[in-house]
Every structure is written in structure tokens, then in C-alpha cells.
Chain A
């Protein structure tokens, strides 16, 4: 019996020829990632464990992204704790404000992920790195601390659900629509404890930014990871960013899946996730023209240059609705510079939008754009739970950058295809 990509990666990291879904294994880790909100508690736990050293100073990434630039005194303290830990243990990949970005963009962009890696991160969207053919999953602070000390952790090898996308995507329909549609089909717990393996000709044609978006939201269906077989695009990215190409695992023809879903995307419209669950998804044609107070384009889900190019194309030469605020957040400083070079910053500012430094801020209701009472947001982020983004009565709809940009202009949720 063959193995899935997930099974192959676990086998390779626990020194076995083969493992099966359901096996409990101790596996060696290639990278342990944490952020300013999860690292301080982990530092506390690391000290309680009595660890005197980290397993490998080059396999730990510490990223300032959630509450930065420090939103208040407490947040400043969190970053300070992380900074001191990084300095004390000489952590190679410590990302300081100004040289940082959203963890799930800066970590792969810095060459810290290659195909075949096994990665944990104390952030639930760590599953993003599956776009490069790595197995990456979110954990909490205590698991991270123990992993800093031990360089390994225990895992239940997950069963996989294979999602095969066929057909051809329409213009203005992108990776975000694919994953929202899929989460809508699966439900928020449809892939609980499992691995979503995305494949098919549509995925083969997607650029990496869209693949990162796909894998990023696997957790919103309850999945432990999302994963895509590493092809030439992923390998080339790894070569360029990391200087090495890792191991591109492929699922065997006779690998066992919990379920295989085939989705023809030819008629897929832009998708909207309605409050208060990411799985509450409807196509845009079945979404009423809800008046929007604030649009956010950014986040680890849709904060890459391709996302801003798509938004800018729609915004260029236009102005946003007078009653509306548009907040644009490049995921990294590199993307920020690229946006300047390509004139995207000017397009956004001319349209009436504001540009924030890289931060998770509004996505987690931290800072940089909190919603007030009864306000409505249209975000390219990943979650719309009640109260997450501001006041308990506020509401957030999730969409692609295309829909977000078109809606910013009209002031109501709008089909970007009507701008063609």
C-alpha cells in the first residue's frame, strides 16, 4: 500500500520506511516558528522545563508580526521578551520590526522552508507552508517551547483528503475563491485532524501566491495541514530563496485517502464568506449588496505582491466610496518596496486608501483598524468569528483581493467582474 505526501514526510522524519495515518510518532523538526504573541509564554515554559540550550539556533524562527509596531506597553513587553530570548540563544532567524513581515510570508521568503520539511509554528496558519510541499502545522506555546528544547515532538500521522480541482478558472476568480468554496463544502470541521492535499490541473497552473492562500486556510476546515506536491515552481522558489531544493514527495498511486473530492471550477464565481464562520460561504451572485465601512487587503492569506497587483488593477484611476476606509497591508518589507516600485502605493493612496506597515493588526482585532459598533468589514483575511475584528456587533465578510478592491470603490459588496 502506497503513502500520501504527509505519510512520506512523517516517515522520513521519524526514521521509518513507512507510517500510516493514525500512527503516533516522534518526529524531528526542520523549523520551529513563533511570533510576538506566542513566544513570551513559550519562553516562560522553556525556562520551567529547565532547558539550558535550544536544539538548533538555525532552526528556530521568531517573528514580530501580531501586535507590532507595539500597539501598547504590554505588546512592547512581548516583543522585548522575544528579542531577549533571541539574543540570549543567538537565534539566527529573528525578525525585528522593519526587517520583518507576517510570519507566513517572511518565513518562506527568507528561505526557511523547502519541500519535504516538517515544520511546526505557534500560529494556527502555519499550514501555509504546505504550498511548498512541506508538512507544516500549528501548535501552542508549550509545544513550541518543548520543541525548542528537544528538536522533536509527537504527532498523530493524519489521514488525507485529496481535493482535485479541474476545469479553468474564470478571470477575477483566484486561489482565495477556491479555498473559500472548498471550506464551504467541507464545513469548519470537515477536515478535522486531517491533511488537505490540493491537486489537479488548476493547482498546477496557480502561481505560488495563490497556493499559499489555498494552504493557509486549510485550518479553517479544521485541517492539521494543507499540502501541495512540490513542482518546478515550488522547487525553483526554494532554490532561489533557500539555496537548496529539499525533497519533493509525491503521493503514491495507491495511497489511501479518507476522501477524494473533485471540484470543477469552470463555473466558479467569486466567493464570499459571511459572518460569523469562514465556512458560511456563498457565491457573490447570492450575496446581497451589503454596505461596507472598512475594506482590509492584506494578511498572511492575501498579502503578497500578486494580491496587491490584482487589487491595484481594479483601483487604478478610481476613488473609493466616500463613507469607506481602505486599509492595505503589505505582508513584508520586500513586498512594500515592490509595491512602491510598481506604483501600487500611489494607486492605493490616490484612490483614498491608507497603507499600513506589515502587521496582523486588524485581522486579529489587535490594532491598525478595529471595527466599531455595528460596523461592517470586507477583509481578504481568514476568519470572521464574532467579535474577532472589533466590537461584538461588528461583522466581517471574507473575500479575494479582487472583490475587496471592487467593493471599496462602490461601497457595497461588488462582483469584480462587473469592472471588466
Chain B
């Protein structure tokens, strides 16, 4: 179960603002997290609490293929990203590293900064506790579910090698 406060952002949040290239000589959570979203919202790292969620509009994570972006978000303590849609490389990268992501236009439309949201990934529900609204998200395709169940691509690939 995922439970946390919402940090609400707009459309087309690109990987350059999630983690600028000047920090991409590093790739660990510890090194990247302090700079997460710093070119979009300089105060983000200070205000985010472990378990909080990012809720954003369309095409979240567009731009570069840098996996440093979901790693920075995960490292900052974000438990989940809910967006109207995701750029496809960011989508794959998040699944691969075990950062939960969900596409849910209705939940995004209603959510505001500071709302409390609870996500039940197994049931496929997103509950905005502040606004007393519940949304359902369709299940991931089988292949993606297998990767998620394995805990990410490392464990998934480990099994496939054998």
C-alpha cells in the first residue's frame, strides 16, 4: 500500500528538469536525490517526505533516456508517480528500477498539492483521501506485471538467464 501527500506538477515535465545533465556523471540514489526536480521546483527536496507522491499531467518524463531521472525521484523518497501519460522511455525505466507509476487522468484532474492519496497497486485503486474520491486503474499488461512481481528488471532478467 502506498500512502502520502501529493506534489502536483503540470504537463511535459522533462528529464532535464527532473535531473539536469550536469549531475548525470552520477547514477546512485544518494548522489542524485539531492538535485531531484531542482530546475523545476528548487524547494522540492526540502519539502518532500518519504512516501509522498508526484502527480503530474501529460507526457511525464519526456526527453532523454537517462535512468538517472526515475532513480533521482525514487531516491528522494517518492513512493509513486501518477500522471495522465508518461513518455515511453521513462515509463520503461521506472518499471525496470521498481518505481511505481500509474496513468490515471481522472485522479490527476482532481488532485491538488498537499492532498493525501492512497494507492493499492494490487487492487488497482487510487484513493484521494482529502477529496474522498476513488479511481480505478487498469492492470498492467502481463509482461510488465511479471517484471513488477519480480521486483524490477534485475531480478526478472536473472530468471530469464537461467
The answer to whether residues A387 and B17 also contact, given A45-B154, A154-B143 and a CB cut-off of 8 A, is yes
A38-B67 in contact (CB<8A): yes
A365-B20 in contact (CB<8A): yes
| Stretch from B83-91, B121-129, B130-138 that touches the partner | B83-91
The answer to whether residues A38 and B65 also contact, given A142-B93, A149-B157 and a CB cut-off of 8 A, is yes
Interface residues of B in 16-61 (CB under 8 A from A): 16-17, 20-22, 24-27, 39-40, 58-59
Using Cβ atoms and an 8 Å threshold, which residues of chain A touch B88?
A: 192-193, 222, 224
CB distance from A48 to the nearest CB of B (A): 5
Instruction: Answer yes or no: B118 CB below 8 A from chain A CBs.
Output: no
Closest B residue to A52 using CB positions: B161
B14-A385 in contact (CB<8A): yes
Using Cβ atoms and an 8 Å threshold, which residues of chain B touch A202?
A: none
Instruction: Answer yes or no: B62 CB below 8 A from chain A CBs.
Output: yes
A365-B161 in contact (CB<8A): no
B67-A189 in contact (CB<8A): no
Assembled-state Cα–Cα distance A192/B57 (Å): 14
Instruction: Answer yes or no: A317 CB below 8 A from chain B CBs.
Output: no
Q: Which of A24, A67, A126, A222 contacts B142 (CB 8 A)?
A: A24
CB distance from B62 to the nearest CB of A (A): 6
Instruction: Answer yes or no: B79 CB below 8 A from chain A CBs.
Output: no
The answer to whether residues A49 and B25 also contact, given A122-B65, A189-B62 and a CB cut-off of 8 A, is no
B89-A188 in contact (CB<8A): no
A222-B161 in contact (CB<8A): no
Instruction: Answer yes or no: A283 CB below 8 A from chain B CBs.
Output: no
Closest B residue to A277 using CB positions: B12
| Stretch from A72-80, A265-273, A301-309 that touches the partner | A72-80
Using Cβ atoms and an 8 Å threshold, which residues of chain B touch A49?
A: 154, 157-158, 161
Instruction: Answer yes or no: A150 CB below 8 A from chain B CBs.
Output: yes
A364-B21 in contact (CB<8A): yes
The answer to whether residues A142 and B154 also contact, given A365-B22, A387-B20, A388-B21 and a CB cut-off of 8 A, is yes
Assembled-state Cα–Cα distance A74/B16 (Å): 19
Most A-side CB within 10 Å, residue of B14, B25, B39, B96:
B25
Instruction: Answer yes or no: B92 CB below 8 A from chain A CBs.
Output: yes
A189-B21 in contact (CB<8A): no
Closest A residue to B84 using CB positions: A189
Using Cβ atoms and an 8 Å threshold, which residues of chain A touch B21?
A: 37, 364-366, 388
The answer to whether residues A188 and B16 also contact, given A150-B157, A366-B21 and a CB cut-off of 8 A, is no
CB distance from B26 to the nearest CB of A (A): 7
B87-A143 in contact (CB<8A): no
Interface residues of B in 76-106 (CB under 8 A from A): 85, 87-89, 92-93, 96-97
Closest A residue to B70 using CB positions: A140
User: Which size bracket describes the interface of A in this complex?
Assistant: 35 or more
Q: What 0/1 pattern do residues 65 to 95 of A give for CB contact below 8 A with B?
A: 0010000101101100000000000000000
**What count of chain B residues pass the 8 Å CB interface test?**
41
Q: What 0/1 pattern do residues 176 to 211 of A give for CB contact below 8 A with B?
A: 000000000000110011000000000000000000
Instruction: Answer yes or no: A171 CB below 8 A from chain B CBs.
Output: no
Instruction: Answer yes or no: B8 CB below 8 A from chain A CBs.
Output: no
Using Cβ atoms and an 8 Å threshold, which residues of chain A touch B93?
A: 139-140, 142-143
CB distance from A79 to the nearest CB of B (A): 10
Using Cβ atoms and an 8 Å threshold, which residues of chain A touch B62?
A: 188-189, 222
B66-A192 in contact (CB<8A): no
Q: What 0/1 pattern do residues 141 to 166 of A give for CB contact below 8 A with B?
A: 11101100110001010000000000
A48-B66 in contact (CB<8A): no
Instruction: Answer yes or no: B153 CB below 8 A from chain A CBs.
Output: yes
A48-B154 in contact (CB<8A): yes
Closest B residue to A72 using CB positions: B25
Instruction: Answer yes or no: A41 CB below 8 A from chain B CBs.
Output: yes
B157-A385 in contact (CB<8A): no
Interfacial residues, chain B to chain A (CB-CB below 8 A):
12, 14, 16-17, 20-22, 24-27, 39-40, 58-59, 62-68, 85, 87-89, 92-93, 96-97, 141-143, 152-154, 156-158, 160-161
A-B contact pairs, 29 of them (CB 8 A): A24-B143, A38-B66, A44-B27, A45-B153, A49-B154, A50-B161, A51-B157, A77-B25, A121-B65, A138-B65, A139-B65, A139-B92, A139-B93, A141-B27, A142-B97, A145-B153, A146-B157, A146-B160, A149-B157, A188-B12, A189-B12, A189-B58, A189-B62, A189-B85, A192-B87, A365-B21, A365-B22, A385-B63, A388-B16
3 residue pairs, one from A and one from B, having the closest CB atoms: A74-B25, A140-B93, A140-B67
